[in-house]
Structure 1
Amino acid sequence: HITGPGNATINGGTVNGNSAGREGGGLWNGSGIMTLDAVTIDANLALGDAADDGGAGVFNNGGTLNISNGTIISNNLATGTAASGGGLLSTAGDVTINDASFVANAANRAGGAIEIIDGNLNFTNASMINNDVNGTAGTAAPGNGGGLHVTGTSGTIIIATSTISGNAAANEGGGLWNQNGTVMNVSTSTIDNNSASEGGGVYNNGGAITNIMTSTISGNSASVSGGGVTNNGAVLDLNAVTIAMNSSTGIGGGIDAVNNVTLKNSIVALNTAASGLDVSGNVISNDYNLIGTDDLSVFASQANDLEEVSPLLGPLQDNGGTTFTHQLLNNSPAFDAGDPADLFTDQIGQSVFGTARDMGAFEAQAALSVSEFDFSSVLSVYPNPTNGVFAIEIGESIANDINLKVISITGKLVKEVTLGTGVNTVDINGLASGLYILNLTFDTNQVTHKLILN
């Protein structure tokens, strides 16, 4: 317990099995700087009943808190009747979390993993997994924000390159819950398999502003509305987001827009609900979106929107990078269908490939096709199948260098090299056996070739 402005750094070690009558079962920081580096904080209790009691793992009373380098905050319980922040409760100040995990923490009021009453949070390369405000710590009251709950009205929340998965809320916001006046920016992240009554993945409340970009919202569920997201706030803006395979037993399998939700470059499809399978409420298009099913006719499409089509998505899985995505399958209508002016990278850091970006969070690195082009007079590839090393022979008629991209059948770029005339040796040892696509670009020409790796 640090009462005043003193600083503390903890490197390694375990904080386990402690209990506090009100706050900070494991650690309590005042107005100074606390740094947690590779620390395990597990199975601590905070017993206070008030809404600003809790923080069973860590309590930050307005100071600066830095958590990093594989720190694990797990199995901590804020058991008070209105307690918040099973893993962490911060009343104000600045919290920076990088390379850390919040796992299986619980509270009763709000924030199974983290409660931010006021101040700022930067959550990067981190995860909130299987936390809840759904009864594990006692009785949910009301149970908002299974992963993260933000009460404050003036802070900034940044979530980047992170995973919010398997969290549960008895009431609103299975994964994330944002409050009036706070700006929450989510990017390059995956929000999946969370559950709540409303807003299975994300719930945006009051006057809150939430921006989600190059992220995936998948497999979340709601018992009332908004399987993927619910917007009851001022602004919910989505750009290059994939919202797929979420469910609601009521309305809005993908999106329930009580207030306006704006979409661009996004896929909302393959969601289920009693009505409003993919979208319900006030959904506004900024163009270049794919909406699978608009059974309530609430989506006013723009010139480059696609409706009533399947995006042809693969399962949620590791397609490269640090967060899971849905890759586009061969012949997906989302290929090259985004805004050509938007050149930012996708969720896992891949550059725009082709004439325009793809819709959604994942950018395929080839227009996948397994058809064979006849270019034997110009290029030859051998041996095929290969055991890991193959040759590409380029004829003298091709004066300029050739760019070779080796693409997995899921659309992931696995190797890129520049080739010249004559015989070029390419080594792909270390890749999994299977079918690959060779994409060769020279001058204004582009050809593809199948390659089998034994």
Structure 2
Amino acid sequence: ITYTGGGPSNLNNSTTAILYIQNGTIDGNRDTGDRRILRLNPGNVIFENMLLTNSRSINGGGVRVDANSSAVLINTIMTDIEGSSGAALLNNNGSLTLINSTIANNEVINANATGGIWIRGDGAVPSFTMINSVVTGTTRDDGAVIGVGFADVYCTDTDGYNLTYSSGLSNLIGVIRADNGDNCGIAGTDFMTGDAQLGTLADNGGIVQTIAPLAGSPLVNGGNDAAALDSTGAALTTDARGSGFARVNGAAVDIGAYELQGCNSATVTSRSELNVAISDFNSNCANGDTLTATVDGTISMTSSLTTLNNATDAVLLVEGGTIDANDSASVMRLNNGKAVFQNMTLKNANGLNGGTFFVDSNGDLTLINSTISNSIATTGGAIAIQNGVLTLTNTTISDTTRLTNGGAVVSLGGTMNLNNTIIANTVDNSANPVEDCVNSGGVVNFSAGLSNLIEDDVACGTAGTDFIEADPLLGTLADNGGKVETMILLPGSPAVNIGDNTAASGLTTDARGVGFPRILNGTVDLGATENEDLTSPALLTLDPADDSVNVVLTPTLRITLNETIQAGIGNITIKRVSDDGVAATFDVMTDVSFTTDTAEFTVPTALDDATEYYVSIPAGAITDSNGNAFAGFTDNATWS
């Protein structure tokens, strides 16, 4: 529900009736006018499995609870709310209960001396009960420091207050303060204080957006199972997201509206499901863990994935499918943690810094057997790193646009490791070719030999020493078989059979998966696909031409085919037409020289004058760079 106009009327019912609101989002839409979510004057309400956000009002920016009124929040999030006299909640002589709820990142306006929640006793004694809940992240619009004039929970004790908490330090209040300077009359041992270590509001699956705790958060397994009850006294079965998200998972219920579901690998088919996996990784994967999200098909999305934020050495592995950002968003920002995208195609991304990925100072991103195509950004058309780590192994990045700065890949400090990778075909906003790779103050490491291709480079290395600088001759992104669309290497591509096999160690397939070997003809190709050229080279010219006369007796003979060729297995022979007698033999491995598309050999001993000869080349003596055999000819008429 998104509010317009003046917002809802106040709840005004003096009976014991209860308004029950569940399973959704209420957006106060404050950009169109100040309004709170609800005022109880008097009345009774229960919010369960709800997100309340984006409202603004004086005297309780989200919900105001007046005398003879009660509000119960169960599995509910209140965030991004602005208000004076209680940024999110004002309990003005009423009764307020939080059960497994998250009140986070709300702002006190008008430099008011209250808090995220204001408990105000004015002629009565207000009641405030916290059960497995967290109140944190309150700020003030004048930039004041929390604890000096305002707090996450603030109490005014004109007539005292009745504050109760579930037992066992099963609540967290970032900062609590009363106007007389105490902790609202309760002992600090009744709840935790400090940093809750929460992520940001995001689509983590389910019926509402949620705020997940990060790995190491004190909220994880910090609650009291016996107190995690709904309004009827029954045990809560789900967190705020609803069905499929257990309320208790692990040693104990988590504090707040979100329950970690564990560091569990999953198959994902949507942005929402992938976000669940990322959130679980952020919150619950520890040193040595790997959470694998296997992408089934194509994930289509119009906003970015949840930001990666895990300070351990755990690894998020996303594999085997396509992410299409529909020209609407970047794919992911890595603030902290390690992510690997393998056998993936990432297309149509649009970002500010890094069209597809932005890798911050504590981020570590690896792409293996993956393709980035049609990505656009102001800086770094495909990827930008800011003091982080980027590793590209057998990856193709092509057809990207950088509007202002950098290339397809830009390092603003940090480390780039390039292994068997192609970066090419980058343009500016006028479609003019620009640099593909830009390094500004970082370190770039290359796999051995000339085993990377950067078509147009600026300071990522030295062409001819660290990589080759050439047109990779890529096909367009298309269905070339397998699980994902790819950009195949076209005939004559310089990226064929020049990779570093050591850098591709452990890879058995290319980006397309089973049935598409990673190495053909002994040496890995650059980029995400292995060249599958099955077309045999064909004859273009013979020198001397067929039926030539008056040829010198020790001629140099040349045969030119329609693509790059190399020695196969066998011997080329020169025979007499009269009796098929052998006049000269040439081992293709030692006696024939190959230059691009031409094979050349010289008769070492003079042939007989006034004698007709022919050249015999058996099938397989000459092949293309993919091992496809030239059919050859052994008759006495093709080249005589």
TM-score of the two chains, using structure 2 as the length reference: 0.42
Q: Distance in 1 between matches of 2:277 and 2:476?
A: 27
Pick closer, same or farther for the CA change 1:257–1:112 going to 2, 3 Å.
Answer: farther
Pick closer, same or farther for the CA change 1:95–1:203 going to 2, 3 Å.
Answer: farther
Tell me whether 1:165 sits opposite 2:313 in the alignment: no
How far off is 1:227 after superposition?
0.9
How far off is 1:231 after superposition?
1.2
> Contact (CA 8 Å) 1:263, 1:286: kept in 2 or not?
yes
Q: 2:283 aligns with which of 118, 127, 135?
A: 118
Q: 1:347 aligns with which of 497, 505, 511?
A: 511
1:431-450 pair list within 5 angstroms: 447-448=629-630
* Amino acid paired to 1:362: T
Consecutive unaligned residues of structure 1, counting only runs of 5 or more, are 1-16, 27-44, 64-72, 74-88, 134-145, 375-439, 450-454
Deviations 1:363-415 (A, max 9, x none): 012375552599xxxxxxxxxxxxxxxxxxxxxxxxxxxxxxxxxxxxxxxxx
Q: Distance in 1 between matches of 2:77 and 2:269?
A: 19
How far off is 1:241 after superposition?
0.6
How far off is 1:95 after superposition?
3.8
> Contact (CA 8 Å) 1:214, 1:347: kept in 2 or not?
yes
> Contact (CA 8 Å) 1:228, 1:254: kept in 2 or not?
yes
1:4-153 pair list within 5 angstroms: 18-19=23-24, 48-49=79-80, 50=104, 52-55=200-203, 57-58=205-206, 93-98=262-267, 100-103=268-271, 115=279, 117-120=282-285, 121-126=291-296, 129-133=299-303, 146-153=304-311
How far off is 1:321 after superposition?
1.2
Q: Distance in 2 between matches of 1:323 and 1:147?
A: 20
Q: Distance in 2 between matches of 1:263 and 1:127?
A: 28
Tell me whether 1:178 sits opposite 2:339 in the alignment: no
Deviations 1:211-239 (A, max 9, x none): 211111111111x2111111124311111
> Contact (CA 8 Å) 2:368, 2:393: kept in 1 or not?
yes
How far off is 1:261 after superposition?
1.3
1:272-421 pair list within 5 angstroms: 272-273=427-428, 277-281=435-439, 282=442, 283-287=444-448, 288-294=451-457, 296-301=458-463, 303=465, 305-307=467-469, 309-341=470-502, 342=504, 344=507, 345-349=509-513, 350-351=516-517, 352-366=519-533, 368=535, 371=538
Q: Distance in 1 between matches of 2:493 and 2:531?
A: 10
Deviations 1:165-202 (A, max 9, x none): 116677xxx1122122x111121111111111111111
Pick closer, same or farther for the CA change 1:19–1:264 going to 2, 3 Å.
Answer: same
Larger Rg: 2
Q: Distance in 2 between matches of 1:205 and 1:177?
A: 8
* Amino acid paired to 1:19: G
> Contact (CA 8 Å) 1:24, 1:54: kept in 2 or not?
no
> Contact (CA 8 Å) 2:325, 2:348: kept in 1 or not?
yes
More strand by share: 1
* Amino acid paired to 1:346: D
Determine which structure has greater relative contact order: mean sequence separation of CA pairs < 8 Å that are 6+ residues apart, divided by chain length.
1
Q: Distance in 1 between matches of 2:259 and 2:347?
A: 25
How far off is 1:271 after superposition?
1.3
Who is 1:246 aligned against? 400
Tell me whether 1:256 sits opposite 2:410 in the alignment: yes
Q: Distance in 1 between matches of 2:421 and 2:23?
A: 46
Who is 2:380 aligned against? 226
Q: CA RMSD in A?
A: 4.0
Deviations 1:135-167 (A, max 9, x none): xxxxxxxxxxx1342122224211111212116
Q: Distance in 2 between matches of 1:94 and 1:210?
A: 19
Who is 1:421 aligned against? none
How far off is 1:209 after superposition?
1.6
Who is 2:342 aligned against? 187
Q: Distance in 2 between matches of 1:347 and 1:303?
A: 27
Pick closer, same or farther for the CA change 1:252–1:52 going to 2, 3 Å.
Answer: closer
